Amino acid sequence: MREVRAKTLVSNPVAVGANPIEVDCLVDTGAVMLMLPKEVVEKLDLPITGRAVVTLANETRDEMEIAGPLSVKIGDRQTHCDCLVGPILGEPLIGQLILESSDLIVDSQRRTLAPRPESPAYPSFKLK
């Protein structure tokens, strides 16, 4: 699959008067969570809320911090989540949780994210 990137606005929803930061993220359909570099997490003044063991692409395991809450906006879609705290100057990654909660699909031909055709105006979810 060809690389897909997305301009993403991230912000701290509990910080009064905080400005969002635009981050150029790699869309990684093999990742679960959003990962932001440490300097972005610090600039947003996000608190560290926990830790997780993460299996990396090369199958090694590492312990990473979790920070949040975080507001994430891609195009017209917005969601809230926590993020993994990556290394300084690390590659920001969008994982499946953001794609699912924003109801976005990967268009590898156009190398973009787009709303699912069944829900062009806003996200659509199933509850059973």
Residues 38-77 pLDDT 10s:
999 999 999 999 999 999 889 999 999 999 999 999 999 9
Task: Report the SS3 class of residue 26.
Answer: strand
Q: Give me the sign of the Cα torsion angle 46, 84, 79, 1.
A: positive
Is pLDDT at 109 greater than 90 in this prediction?
Answer: no
Task: Report the SS3 class of residue 63.
Answer: strand
> Is the N-terminal amide bond of 47 cis, ω within 30° of 0?
no
Domains of the chain: 5-115 (2.40.70.10)
Q: When comparing pLDDT for 2 and 6, which is higher? A: 6
Average pLDDT score, the chain? 94
Task: Report the SS3 class of residue 39.
Answer: helix
Calpha distance 78→36 (Å, rounded): 17
Task: Report the SS3 class of residue 101.
Answer: helix
Is pLDDT at 1 greater than 70 in this prediction?
Answer: no
